[in-house]
Amino acid sequence: MAMALALYHNDMSSCAQKVRLVLHEKGLDWESRHLDLRAGEHQQDWYVKLNPRAVVPTLIDGDTVVPESNVINEYLDERFPDPPLKPADAFGRARMRLWTKQLDEGVHDAGIAVLSFAVAFRHQYIAKGESGAAMLESIPDPFKRERRRDVIEKGLDSEHFRMAIERLLHLYRDMDRALADRPWLAGERYSIADAAFTPYVVRLDHLDVMGLLDSTPRVAGWYRRIQARPSFAHAIVRWENTSYLELMKRQGRENWSKIKGIADAL
């Protein structure tokens, strides 16, 4: 029997991790439609019709197609309200959205994606030769395409890398300040904001660069509480891809002193 909910996603993608967290927090059954991003499966014509930016994730709910992870998570919370993953008051919900909107304003594309590509994923593209170059040319957004080209070519020496570290450290400081007043990012209970930001610490963990959180200890404490929730095992750990992880950890460790030097000089 076909399940109503299906998710086009990728095992290691941050944007997919945050939707899987919400699916599991809500105890929903969903069908996995996994796309191999390094084989360009998300750039095929049939998928771009569902998701014009050629990115994962995309949720399918019966005949309904919903792209964009922040939009998907709010959609899931309205469609399946129990347990609620939004604060009960209007200001709390505004606070939650002040967090999530930042992801589409630079934290994702210019922040964590640049960090990940500069340290690790560029090696996957370079190893693919011609097909890696073709994948780069198929990125629909010209700003994202040119930034990625620069980061693949120059790695940690790309100017985008320093800016990514600056933006991410700013984010972790903001999170640290918010967590001084309340247990979860938007208030007294776990919300879509906590799910949305979890991948932005998971990525540091996977790259073995958790030292970037040394001056924001409340973020590290929040991450430990997130890891203790059952959804973390289902949505993150169960999907860990060992070949990605091996590359990420090795490159993160080899580059740590340079990364730390760039962070310290900011």
Ligand X SMILES: N[C@@H](CCC(=O)N[C@@H](CS)C(=O)NCC(=O)O)C(=O)O
Q: Which stretch binds ligand X (CB under 6 A): 53-61, 86-94, 153-161, 163-171?
A: 53-61
Residue 74 in contact with ligand X, rule: CB under 6 A: no
CA 121, CA 243: separation in Å to the nearest integer?
Answer: 11
Distance CA 183, CA 78 (A): 23
- Residues sharing a CB contact under 8 Å with residue 46, sequence separation 6 or more, in sequence order: none
Residue 68 sits in the site that holds ligand X (CB under 6 A): yes
Q: Report in angstroms how near the CB of residue 107 gets to ligand X at its nearest.
A: 10
Q: Which two tokens stand for residue 82?
A: 């129990």
**Residue count, binding to ligand X (CB under 6 A):** 14
State in angstroms the smallest separation of the CB of 130 from ligand X. 17
Q: Is 143 exposed, middle or buried (0-12, 13-18, 19+ CB in 10 A)?
A: exposed
Instruction: Read off the DSSP letter of residue 187.
Output: B
Of 37 and 185, the one with the shorter C-beta distance to ligand X is 37
Least Å from the CB of residue 13 to ligand X:
4
Q: Is 13 in the site for ligand X (CB under 6 A)?
A: yes
How far, in Å, CA of 220 to CA of 228, rounded?
13
Contact code string over 149-178 relative to ligand X, x by CB under 6 A: ------------------------------
Query: Could you say whether residue 147 binds ligand X (CB under 6 A)?
Result: no
Question: Is-contact 53 144, C-beta < 8 A?
Answer: no
Residue 76 touches ligand X, criterion: CB under 6 A: no
Instruction: Using the minimum distance from each CB to ligand X, give the nearer residue, 139 or 164.
Output: 139
CA gap 122, 207 in Å, rounded: 13
- Residue 61 touching ligand X (CB under 6 A): no
Scan for tokens 């930034």, then name that residue. Answer: 147
CB of 139 to ligand X, least distance (A): 6
For residue 13, give both structure tokens: 């993608």
Q: Which residues bind ligand X (CB under 6 A)?
A: 13-15, 37, 42, 55-57, 68-70, 104, 108, 139
